[in-house]
A and B are shown apart, each in its own frame.
Chain A
Amino acid sequence: MASAQSSADGPARTSLPSQTRRTLLKGFAAAGAAVSISSKIAWADGEIGYWAKDLPNEKLIDMYSTILRIRWFDRTLADKQLSDRSFRNLIHLYCGQEAVAAGVCAALNNKGPFEEIDVIFGTHRPTGHAIAKGVDMKKLAAEYNFKATGLNRGYAGEMHLADKSVGYIGADGIVGPAAVIASGAAFAFRARGSKQVAVVFGGDGTYATPAFHSSMNNAALLKLPFVYVVENNLYHQFAHYSYSSPQKDIAVAANTYRVPGWVVDGQDVTQVYNKMKDAVDRARAGEGPTLIEAKTYRYYAHWGAPGAEVGKLGSFGYDPQAITSWRPERELRDWLQRDPVDIARNTLISWGVIDQAKASAIDAAVKQEVKEAFEWEAQQPLCKPEDALKNVFVEGTVAARQFG
């Protein structure tokens, strides 16, 4: 059984899914009793670092709601792209990965003055990161449809979302640079003696970029309050990650920098939270960076919703852009069996936090909230063309040059 304790020199730790883990723990406890080893010790071993169990009910329910918010927001985006031409959008859907963003952000400070909260740097699969950090879904929906009242007033679209007020420094359309930039935020936190933590989310594809090495190396050398969360959903763009990583577990790369690298079940929000809390505690204590690899999966294609159907979760059909390598349909069906929504719900029910009726009520409330966000979006004004010349610098506007 892997311990949750970190070791700078040790190999990457593998966490088991919580259900399996609890079953095993029960088994260990029973075995312990049988050979007269204190069952308390056996339990304690398994419980070390299981921080999610200590959380108040409201916090656990909030984590579950976050997962649902992301899920229904993204499913609405997928359905709208397939059926509603009035909603113009580019989408890189996060469905399947919700527990990663929800678990990571639950371990961070998200509310308060900008100078005090933790910050995240996301990817251009952004809804999970944005919603989990606390971005308003109404403004988010409006930004997706390029409205003047959207989160970034129509300048961002999907791939460049940002919301300083909740510490969401932003999405990044390019793969790689966010990691080095995030390590710079951590550098500033250390320099000003702040207890803030900087987190970067990167896909498995980021492992192959020079930014991976640069950010990890410098964060390790300077003991920066930095957490690199690799969301390994098995595919970068259209290629399997075996094209870009010789490691099966990208987390083992942390050994090179003599910092902890942990593999975590990205489908189980409690497991993600546990490891993230350890990483954040390390960062705040001045012990330096941590690499967390969340094993996860995206239910849709790299971008858009090719092969998907309205009202149906996941993209099973043909994606014309995926020529070199593409996932087998069985792989997707397999991952759907370990859905982050189901795992979170079952965990909360088995812990007695909620019952089935309450779970359904939460689901209905979230669906309504998402529906209202998109209804609000539909009423919002379009951008004024001339505003395109603003915001290049803090002051003034630039000249129109398109007319000659």
Chain B
Amino acid sequence: MASKSTMYAMYEAVQHEMRQRKDMTWIFELTPAVASNPGTPVINLEKEFGRTRVTNTGIDEMWMAGATLGAGLVGTTAVTYIPYQGSQIPFEIIQNHAGKLRYMSGGDSTMPVVFIIEISGQAAGFGGQHSDYEADSYFAHIPGVKVVIPSRPYDAKGMMASAIRDPNPVVYLFPQGLRQLSEEVPDEQFTVPLDKAAVRTTGNDLTIVGSGAGMTMVLEATDQLQKVGMKVEAIDLRSLKPIDTETLVKSVQKTKRLLTFDQSYYTLCPGAEVIARVAENVDGARYKRIAFPDAPPPASPEMFNWMRPNASHIVAAARKVVG
């Protein structure tokens, strides 16, 4: 047990599985297959497993995703790390192939593959193509692909272990802004289920639902609200496909108030689905959703920081819903 960053914890899971599976592959491009963390050994997948299994490609995300899928179709567990600089280029491979092949083959095809899709959304200045946080909505819409998004190092490790062991294709969204976030994570391998939301705080006044990098803001706002006496139930979705409807419904049946928080664009953001599912099952509740406006992220910090949903937006909206 040691304090580990999200990035390191995820790589620890990968390293463990690669040691167990002698044919498992890892394809990367910009993000080196290396993770270091104070007080723990450096993980270097390339060095440990060799360049035949751990391959640095050109800037060709279509190949990275396609090759990973192809490896899976012939029985190899395969993972690729698609950096946020080209994260939507492999969409066709994931949506129209990985998501449908099992079904189209009448259950014949098996794809033990993980597409790590890095999402940004954290930094002002990068402008339109390098600071979006929209991939969660896109991938969650696809049938046949499990979509998960960790919000902390412990889940990053446990969900990666589960994703690798899962016989289905998994899109593992990795919020780039969480790379350095650290907490105590066990050294031994463990799993976190791919279909369960996590209730982070319990309360009767208001349910706040978020995921991924947004959870940092949700928990910050929850903390502020708890201090002024509001009892908040903060839920981390963790899985966007499938969505853990049961946990959400149970919570809102109790609180009767639901606030969703997303960094994704407003239209069809994960919160929209959360509200729809809850509304179908809970009578008489109040709803509100916070999301990024339906506009690409601007480069200017003055515009971007005003636009990006944050903890103070949650606090203000929570007061409106509860008040």
Contacts and interface: CB of A to CB of B under 8 A. Distances in A.
B303 A383 contact: yes
5 contacts: A155-B300, A388-B295, A388-B304, A402-B291, A402-B306
Nearest to A205: B59
Contacts of B58: 205, 207-209, 236, 239, 243-245
Given A206-B59, A401-B294, 14 more contacts: A90-B125, A148-B300, A154-B298, A160-B129, A173-B126, A236-B58, A244-B57, A323-B32, A384-B303, A399-B266, A399-B294, A401-B292, A402-B308, A404-B259
A245 B60 CA distance: 11
Size class of the B contact interface (CB-based, 8 Å): 35 or more
A320 to B, nearest CB: 11
A404 B313 contact: yes
Contact of A159 (B32, B127, B288, B296): B127
A137 B310 CA distance: 35
A400 interface: yes
Interface string A376-397: 0000001111111100100000
Interface string B111-129: 0000000000000011111
A213 to B, nearest CB: 11
Contacts of A388: 293, 295, 298, 300, 303-304, 306-307
Contacts of B46: 324
Interface string B200-228: 00000000000000000000000000000
Interface string B251-293: 0000000010000001000000000000000000000111111
B302 A385 contact: yes
A392 B295 contact: yes
A155 B298 contact: yes
A385 B304 CA distance: 7
A157 interface: yes
A392 B294 contact: yes
A159 B123 CA distance: 14
Interface in A212-256: 236-239, 243-245
B295 A389 contact: yes
A210 interface: yes
A399 B46 CA distance: 47
Contacts of B294: 392, 398-399, 401
B74 interface: no
B2 interface: no
A288 interface: no
Contacts of B302: 146, 154, 382-385
B295 A146 contact: no
Contact of A392 (B292, B296, B303, B308): B296
Nearest to B308: A402
B128 A160 contact: yes
Interface string B125-154: 111111000000000000000000000000
A364 interface: no
Contact of A174 (B60, B129, B291): B129
A322 to B, nearest CB: 9
Contact of A404 (B289, B295, B304): B289
Nearest to B88: A174
A404 B298 contact: no
A158 B299 CA distance: 8
A175 interface: yes
Contacts of A389: 293, 295, 307
A401 B293 contact: yes
Given A146-B125, A159-B126, A176-B89, A398 B300 contact: no
Nearest to A401: B266
- B46, B89, B308, B310 — which one has the most chain A CB atoms within 10 A of its CB? B89
A133 B157 CA distance: 49
A404 B89 contact: no
Nearest to A153: B300
B34 A398 contact: no
A162 B63 CA distance: 30
A174 B289 CA distance: 31
B307 A402 contact: yes
Nearest to A150: B300
Contacts of B309: 401-402
Contacts of B298: 154-155, 383, 388
Given A324-B56, A404-B316, A174 B306 contact: no
A392 to B, nearest CB: 5
A88 interface: yes
B230 interface: no
Nearest to B85: A174
Nearest to A203: B59
Nearest to A322: B32
Interface string B24-60: 0000011010100000000000100000000011111
